Chain A
Amino acid sequence: MPVLEVRDVTKTFQTEKSKISVLEDVSFSVDKDEFVCLVGPSGCGKSTLLRIVAGLEKADSGQILFHGQPQTSPNPRITMIFQLFGLLPWKTALDNVEIPLEVIGMKRESREEIAKSYLRMVGLEGFENTYPHDLSGGMKQRVGIARALALQPEVLLMDEPFSSLDELTAKTLRTLVMDIWRDPSLPTNTFVMVSHNVEEAVYMADRVIVMSPRPGRIIDEVKVNLPRPRAQYLRDTKYFQCVDDVVAILEKGKQ
């Protein structure tokens, strides 16, 4: 059974004057240990789709199934990292990681210990008491990752997690995310990422799902069969072939 299943999701937004159809009959599923990437032109509703999966928005029709159970509200076993990090600016890095643990009712000592260990894992040892405004963009996203992982979720959703970072930082963080995904000691092993960067998607994902412009529909998907770790294949024709395939589907979707 797939870990996550999206079934016939449709969503429209009501504005003052008109209805905007954002998603139309979107269905796909994600298996255990899979890394899936959603790509599409801007405004195609891929972020909205991710939010529906996270339980932050409600679909007009359709279902989200998690291990076969319908999901309608946020679930600590599915967490998310955000494009603009979504850190609480009035909390230190440590507090930011601790807060979700506090909400699920964990005791102070144990949650502090867990939060510290995850901050260490993302390479922020020594920055526990720093406020977000004193951290660089990359460090903020590291806090965001630590916060999401601290809940020990099964599924990690990522909404364009690297697009507000500079390329060098993004590259380092991509590697970090890949390492986390492949780390067998962590329970988090099913990843869904939204991106508009085709190279990034092909580099990271097992499967790239391509969406059409608004209203967003799934046009096609591309399986990426490159061996991992992929850094050495970045100049390989197979890699470029994959990228070209995705771009071709995107272009086709525009017409």
Chain B
Amino acid sequence: MIVVAYWLVMNFVQNPEISSLPYYTFRTLLRITITLGISIAWGVSFGILASTNKTASMILVPFIDLLQSVPILGYFPAVIILLISLFQGSELAIELSAILLLFTSMAWAIFFGVVGAVKGIPVNVMESAQSFGLTGSKYVRHVILPAVVPALVSGATLAWCDGWFFMIAAEYIEYAGTTYWVPGLGSFLAKAAYVYGDITLSAVLLVLITATVVYINFMTWHRLMERATAGTYKPVLKLDLSGVGQLGVIRAIGPRRWLHLGNRVHWPKSLIVASHRLRKYTRQEKAIALVMALSLVFVIVYLIAPQVSPDVIKQGFSSHPADELVNLPSYIALTMGRLGIAYIISLSAALGMGILAAEHKKFAAVFYPIYDIGQAVPILALFPVLFITLSRTFGGTIGLEITSIVMLILDMIWYMFLNIVSAIRNIPSEIREVGKLFGFKGLKRITHVIIPCILPAIVTGSILSWGTGWNTIIFSEYMPYGASTIYLDPASVNQTYVADEIAISLNVSEVNVLHTWQTQVNFNASHLQCINVSEGEFLRRAGEIKFDGGTIDNTSGSIGPINSTLLERGLGVNGSGRLAIFYFRVLRRGNSEITLSEKTKMLDSVLKIIPMSKAYSLPGLGSYLDKTGYLYGNTVLLILLLAIIATLVLLMEALVWRRLLRKFEKYHTEV
């Protein structure tokens, strides 16, 4: 079926790169498989080490917890900066960064799965094995490895899914204004959307990718899982949801073999990782984590400080986009707001769906298949498709705002759903019976019995949701187009003080041989007054220029036409930089947008029009991080922002989730 789909797509979709589709698929598959291999090797060896050796455990586990608390996508710019500077932008470096990025998203699940499995070996099994003389390597072979296999399979399934999830982010790497395309399905999808602007192709690719993921999951992981879970000590890996699918698709569609999609649902986004994140830390672990965090900071400072004099740090804080640091509180608020809205919507939707699905077979037949497919869609791959569709109806900024929230919801909802359904199905039968015996019905049953019972699961689901939400928002607040871009920065002004002066720069990114450009700027004349227009430094890189700032019209709110051209013919500038700077005075408080008119044009050295697209960015922490890393490559600021995000994540975990969990857990220890 998949082959037929590929054949159809390759023959009926028109695109210069379509013939490479099988090659791209192969590259992506290879990349994910190689990374999975590395992750398994790493996860098993370190997992066994960490779970059998006390010293290793005390060092490794807090360290990995620490790394894990930062949203994976947050690492991306940092990893890229490191690798590209190491390998000087060679193809190997790009490939390596893609693999490393995938590795950071895949390795945790396996590691924690292995640790959990080894720790879950019952004491009586351990003792009896030792009493029969199984020690050392024999013990590993006969006791540890068999116990690890199921966790490994489920961890690998998770990792595999995570890999697909992050694939698009890993194959399409932007750094300091340059885009690196790693050949593969993810980058092809990104290109289809950003470069070719071909919505049909992107949608087709998205469906194709989803189908491939579901197909492979079904062919390999589900089968392996079935075999591997036969002899587990604890049914945790299956989340006690065995048989869920039996009610699902089969009942709904009838027993046709090829539709057995929902037959063996395995809930790949399992709770393994979460349960480990939330276990109680011992005092030693806390201390070691603290020492390690401090020493990590120390090492970083120590390594970087001698090379980068304070000047570099100063420069980092004075160059772009450090001027936006004043907006940091509002960025944090906006990003948290988006996450909060998406979280509330996901929670309520998942709660409704979960209760219905767990309690009524009819709804289960509808919701389980939706879950099965929904969680297999690589959300990040959905981003371009969704954005292009929505931006056509709502325009760029609002379109991106909606896209961002929709993506967050799609991302969060399945974690919540999974947790809620499994918790409802695991409500002890006595509690159910008590509810029934004493006549709880309808709403009262839900509020008095079901919801209190599943509160801990809701908290676990929330932690997972927020974790994945942070990842998604880093990606989705910023819409970088692959082709060259001309944009205003910042594109909107939210000024509190009248008479403030603000500077807005007109930037270009990733342009090839720019020779001449022209534009016109529109602004809200009742809020802003333009004082001055001055030239940027970008075009001067190639020689003398002529700059014409046009006329400033402060009654209707326009500047232009603004022209700039290199005096000498046949020259051009490559890369990214600033074209012009506009100075405004604030006349009235409030939010006001500044836009470029349709007349904006860029010409190259032979006076041909350079195709342009726009970058959209939503004010927020995620877009700020993206800009800092990808657009400006400002390492100093990047580290600061990463630290801020990590702090937010950890604070939220400590202040909200852990407290809630501890509170609920008290009432939920075996009654």
Contact = CB atoms under 8 A, between A and B. Distances in A.
Interface string A130-166: 0111000000100000000001000000000000000
A100 B438 contact: yes
A56 interface: yes
A54 interface: yes
Given A85-B430, A86-B434, A87-B671, A16 B439 contact: no
B668 A89 contact: yes
Given A82-B430, A88-B452, A103-B444, A133 B669 contact: yes
B667 A131 contact: yes
23 contacts: A16-B246, A54-B433, A74-B437, A74-B438, A79-B438, A80-B433, A82-B434, A83-B430, A84-B430, A84-B671, A86-B428, A87-B434, A88-B434, A88-B449, A89-B668, A90-B455, A103-B438, A104-B439, A131-B666, A131-B667, A133-B667, A133-B669, A133-B671
Contacts of B434: 82, 86-88
Contacts of A85: 430, 671
A51 interface: yes
Interface residues of A, number: 27
A99 interface: yes
A44 B225 CA distance: 34
B329 to A, nearest CB: 37
B431 A99 contact: no
Interface in B639-671: 664, 666-669, 671
Interface of B: 243, 246, 428, 430-431, 433-434, 436-440, 444, 448-449, 452-453, 455, 664, 666-669, 671
A187 interface: no
A140 B440 contact: no
A103 B440 contact: yes
Nearest to A79: B437
B439 A86 contact: no
A86 B431 contact: yes
B436 to A, nearest CB: 6
A54 B435 CA distance: 12
B671 A82 contact: no
Interface of A: 16, 51, 54-56, 74, 76, 79-80, 82-90, 99-100, 103-104, 131-133, 140, 151
Contacts of A55: 436-437
Nearest to A132: B671
Contacts of B246: 16
A83 B428 CA distance: 12
Counting chain A CB atoms within 10 Å of each CB, the highest count among B243, B434, B449 belongs to B434
B667 A90 contact: yes
B661 to A, nearest CB: 14
B429 to A, nearest CB: 9
B436 A74 contact: yes
Contacts of B437: 54-56, 74, 79-80
Give 3 nearest A-B pairs by CB, closest first. A86-B430, A100-B438, A86-B434
Contact of B666 (A51, A99, A133): A133
A33 B28 CA distance: 76
Given A79-B437, A100-B438, A90 B452 contact: yes
Contacts of A80: 433, 437
Nearest to A87: B671
Contacts of A99: 438, 448
Given A99-B448, A140-B671, A74 B431 contact: no
Given A16-B246, A99-B448, A104-B439, A89 B667 contact: yes
A56 B31 CA distance: 54
Contacts of A51: 433
B243 A16 contact: yes
